[in-house]
Every structure is written in C-alpha cells, then in structure tokens.
Structure 1
C-alpha cells in the first residue's frame, strides 16, 4: 500500500506567517508573548498574530461571513497548497478532502455578537451563524480551493488538529480521495474566551515554560497549521519528492476526569500509534510533546512517556514554549514543526528551559536546537475531556 506523505506545509502563527519564519522562531527559541489585547487589565499574556498582518488577499469571496478562525485556516492552506505545487483544479475536485481540527469554532464572532446584543442592544450581524458555526473553517477552505470531496471539522478540544491529520490520512490511504488539506486552526483570543480560560487559574503571566521547575501555566494562542497529504505514488507521479509520511494515528479516551490528565490514557494513545505504524518504541528518535507548561500536564506526560519508552525516553521538546497553546490548532502547528525537524535533521528546543524540573527526569532539549537524525517521531496532543492523540511520522 502506498505511503501517505506530506507534500506541503503552511502556517499562520504569531511566531511566523510563513513556514520559514515559523521554523526560524522555533529553532531560535524565540517566543512572541504579549499582553492580551482583548483583556488588557488582567495581566494575562497571549500569543497573537501582529495587528499589521494583512489577510485581505485571501481567496474568500464573502469576507464578511468569515470568522478569524476560518481566515487563519485559509491563509495556512493557501501556503500549504503552494508548497505542494497544487493549483486549484489540478486534482479532480471531488477527489480533494478538507479535514480541519478546531476546538471552538467562531469564538471571536460569538463574543462580538453577544456584545452587540446584550451590551449595545443591537441586532446580531446577519452572518453570525455562518461565522460562528463549528464547521466554518472546513467550509471556507473547501470554497477557497474548490475542494468537493469529504469536508468536515474534527472537534476534540486540544487534540483536534492531530486527530484531523490522522483521519485525513486514513481517507487518503483508503483511496477515498487523492489529496487532503488538513490540520488545525483556532482563534480564541476574544475577551470572553480569555476570561473563561483565566477563570481556570492555569494561565501564565510570565511565559510558557514546559518542563521547567518554575513553570506556572499555559499561554493561549491563535494560529493555524495545515499539511497537504497524498499517496506517495500520486505525489511522485506529478513530480513531488516528499520526505515524510504519516504512519499512523493513535487515539483514545480516558473515560475518567473531564480536566485531570491520565498517564494511562496518554500511554495507550502512543502505544496504539506505534502498533499501527508497526514500530517499536526504540524506533522513535524524537517526541514533540503536548507540553503545555502546567504543573499537572507536564508531569503526567512524562509519566506516560516513561511508561511507553522506559527509563530513558527519546529526546523531547515542547514547541508551545514559542507558539503558545493554539488549542484545536496546536496539533496542526506541531505536525508542521515535527515534519520540519525531520527534514532538517534538527530538533527544536524547549525554549527558556534553563532550570529543568528535577521531578521530570527526561531529555527535554533545553534552550538550544539539537542536530540529530530523526527517522521517526511522535507528535502528542492531549485534551480536556480525556481525549488523547498521538501521530507517528516517519521518513520515507
């Protein structure tokens, strides 16, 4: 069976609106956390795309009906399609799928319209429903690129992007489609959403420092990461020379606590991914960790890694130390980061990790990127609700 390969990458992230800038920021360990624009009085910080970023030239025929959440997905998808060398119409439209991971839908539009309704006593905008609906990001990507195959959103909180890529790979592998535009997106930096996250008491005021002794929480981010998937034979027939394949997705549920993570559940996802890929733990050279920077999540993930890999897990890093946590979009951004690490033979660092937590005795690639061959890697995403997803990527 032909491998399912990654033929194109695209991002729209606070640390880079191009893949080159995104990768440069990750390698340099250069975060871009600033006071949250929507909640300036709180002291909360966020990872926000600069105000000056211009998305006005996107192929969106009705921009007034498009929430920022979908806009970021279209921007990243356009870059990924260009990177893959795929023009709209170059593949039969009904053979192109769109599978986007998204945790919240049009959160910015919901906030705006509730303010209009309850504060300003004005009628909601007539496009409020299509802006806010959970499937809007997938719909707008399909419209922008004429994709007429299966089109849907995977909504599993912070595991959404990773699960979307895994599901899209299954569609390609099964021969249902020839190409899939897939990944994750989120635009959660509205006032109401940030207030809700702040109420959970898990947001940092100082920066995201996964695996650090003084870590104090996560930094909520906006962003989208999109990959183009196709069968290796299809890609090579049109002259593309892919380097990385999506080997498998391992996914499952804790069926336990709605917020507290479970090491057993995380470990089951990683083991399932390894089994599906027909790989042993020793075959994995690098793990892109979920690594949110909260006390509980980092500890639980390390316990899970030790359960799967033994006393000496492979080198691990959390790119959330640079990107922040883009929730449903995180898995897409981290898949892009993992593919880049593999193709550059360079593992990005856990930025700012100058004082590793001695209770988390793993090699978390502190401070500086590490040159190393990465023939196979895992990208982890673990979500509220006990939803776990691990994606195995391997070099061809």
Structure 2
C-alpha cells in the first residue's frame, strides 16, 4: 500500500480567501460570523452566519462561466486553483488519465435553486435558464474541476450531509493508498447562505441567533457558514520524485453508521469511527495530540462527541487538545470537514492549535481541553478530524506530521 501525502491546499471561507489568511485568522482566534447580507434576510429569525465577504465573482469568472457556476462551484474552483498551484502539478498524458477529483457537498446549488424558485413562484415566470440543472446539481463542482484541470480519472461527488467532505477525502485517500492513481484532488464545498437555505435550517430549531460557542455551557446552537477547502492527495514516491513540498501525511480513516436516529447523534457510532481511524492508521492512543472536533455548538452534538472521545481515549483524554473551529468560520455543512482539515495541517506542521472561541462557561459534560479562546503552541505528531453527520453517518481522518 502507498503512503499518501498532501502537497497542495486551497480555501475560501469566512476567515479568508486563501490558506495563509485563513490560518492567520485561526491563529488569532478571529471570528468570521457576522450579520448576513442577502435578499429578504429581514424575514428570517436567524440572521448571522459565516458568510464569505468582500467577494466579487465577476473579478474571477467571465460571463459564460457565471452562467454555469453556482456560488458553491465558484468557491470550489477558487480553492482548487490555489491547491493545484501550490502542488505544482500539470495534468497531462498518463497523469491526467489516472488523476481524478472526489468532492463532498450536501446541498448543491442552493443559491441557484432559491433564485429560480423565486422566479417561478414569486415572479410568475414560466421559463428558467436552460443551464439551471447543470448549475445546481451536486456534482457540478467536481465536474468543473475535472474539466478545468484535465482530470480524466475517477471523479464524483459524495453527499453525506455534514460528513460529506471527510467521506470524499477518505475515498480519495483510499484510491491513492491502494495504487489506483498517484494523485487525487479532493475536499468539499457548500453555499447554503441564501434565504431558502437558512429558512430550512431554521425549521430544525438547532440554530443560534447570537453566536457559535461549542462546548461552552451557555451554547445555544450552531451557525451556518459557506466556502470550500480543496487538497491535493499524492502518493509519496510520486511527490518525492518531483521535489514537492509536503504539508502532512494522511495516515488513515474510518467510517461508521449510527443506524439509530436521523438527527440525534450516537456516542457508539462516533466511538467506532474514532477507534477505526486509529486502527487503520496503526496509531496508539498516546500518539494523538489534537482532535479537530465536529463541535457544532448544539447540546446534543457536543455532549455526545465529548463522551465518545472520553470513551475511546480513557485516561489519555485528559492530555488531548480538542477544539472546534466552527466557532470561527461557522458550520459549512458538506464542506466543513475540508476547511477544518486546515486546522489539523496547522497543528502537525506548524505546531499551532486553533482555539475554540466564544467559550465562556465550563460544561461538566464536556470536560475536555477545548483550547478555549486563544491559540496554543504545541508539539503534535498526529491529529484527527471528526465529522458526525445527520443521518448518523460518521467519518474520521487521521493526519500525521510528515517525517
């Protein structure tokens, strides 16, 4: 089996339009959650989110592209361009034939869907643009990345709610690890911050009106975000032969299903995924120094996740650092695991642990070191990235410092 390393990373999210800006914001504990700005926001009960600000799509895409690219596709392409440029890869010949793209996404083109529902039902129009379907379909971003970069190998989209990105990256890892291809582009994206997207989430009654405070006793719900995180997963010998910079090593993963409830998380399902990732990566409990938590800021998730970590790590849980960067950039739903993997890379490569900001009151049911409010320097060899989705679908990735 092949070693898998990360040779490129790209992002756009509420904290920054690229990786350096995002990591700087994480180090500073900066909050990207603000008042939402879009049509009819005054009709919503929830009016905050991790929205991408100062973004001008017309400066990045031409008119023909804009007709085909929903906001989530735009974000994906921006992040992919950054990641592939950092990796220094050009896809041609045999490499192009074998390399592909696997992305995670939950909602697809929600902005396009919202706009066209308005056009038909509110404005009374009887026709929509002929490209509505290819613009809003979940696989649009993966398809456009494959076309822009000439990726002709296995390419598809994974949709498993909040675990979509982690499931996608796990699949990409397995393809490189198993020798199917030397390179995969992977990650995920989401852009549900439109009237219909937020209104639907309001109905679940899990949203906060004033901020995301994971693990804090006074937390009152999650906050949506938007954006993309894209990575180049590459077989180690292939990367070494061309002198590529290596950001981190992907050591293993695991997936599990709660098979219990459509919205309530299960400690047992989460525990199985964490244990499975450690086993797949051949790691001991004591090897892990940091966990990027799913950490949504809801009472159910935070208690269940804390219990699962305590169950798996036992006495070692007291020596673990576990933080939720959703407190800064919001919950990117299908794209969240991809942006959060950046915090894991920062931990193992730079020795900086992103904080859980907004933390105000200890919760005895979340009695872990959640790195409250201020980033921390630490020597970390292994980091885990947790994703526990609605539908009881779980995926955990293990990242190692490259050596």
User: In the alignment, does 2:277 pair up with 1:273?
Assistant: yes
Matches within 5 A, 1:204-223: 204-223=208-227
CA-atom RMSD, angstroms? 1.6
CA contact (8 A) 1:60 1:144 kept: no
Query: TM-score w.r.t. structure 1 length?
Result: 0.97
- Match of residue 42, structure 2, among 27, 40, 43: 40
Distance change (3 Å), C-alpha of 1:254 and 1:55: farther
- Match of residue 85, structure 1, among 64, 84, 88: 88
CA distance in 2, matches of 1:261, 1:323: 22
CA distance in 2, matches of 1:373, 1:293: 27
User: In the alignment, does 2:315 pair up with 1:302?
Assistant: no
CA contact (8 A) 1:59 1:144 kept: no
User: In the alignment, does 2:361 pair up with 1:388?
Assistant: no
Please name the residue that 1:19 is paired with: 19
CA distance in 1, matches of 2:302, 2:109: 29
CA distance in 2, matches of 1:283, 1:91: 38
Matches within 5 A, 1:229-248: 229-248=233-252
CA distance in 1, matches of 2:89, 2:64: 20
User: In the alignment, does 2:95 pair up with 1:95?
Assistant: no
User: In the alignment, does 2:146 pair up with 1:142?
Assistant: yes
Please name the residue that 1:118 is paired with: 121
Note the residue ranges of structure 1 that are not aligned, 5 or more in a row. Answer: none
Displacement, 1:252? 1.0
* SS of corresponding position for 2:359: coil
What whole-Å deviation, never above 9, does each CA across 1:343-364 have from its counterpart, x for those lacking one? Answer: 1111111112132223311110
Note the residue ranges of structure 2 that are not aligned, 5 or more in a row. Answer: none
What whole-Å deviation, never above 9, does each CA across 1:248-285 have from its counterpart, x for those lacking one? Answer: 11101111100000010000000111111111111111
Q: How many residues align?
A: 396
Distance change (3 Å), C-alpha of 1:185 and 1:60: farther
CA distance in 2, matches of 1:196, 1:19: 30
Distance change (3 Å), C-alpha of 1:91 and 1:20: farther
User: In the alignment, does 2:350 pair up with 1:348?
Assistant: no
Please name the residue that 1:57 is paired with: 60
CA contact (8 A) 1:163 1:249 kept: no
User: In the alignment, does 2:137 pair up with 1:133?
Assistant: yes
Query: TM-score w.r.t. structure 2 length?
Result: 0.95
CA distance in 2, matches of 1:161, 1:224: 10
CA contact (8 A) 1:204 1:217 kept: yes
CA distance in 2, matches of 1:32, 1:6: 26
Matches within 5 A, 1:185-264: 185-264=189-268
Please name the residue that 1:330 is paired with: 336
Displacement, 1:304? 0.4
CA distance in 1, matches of 2:98, 2:42: 46
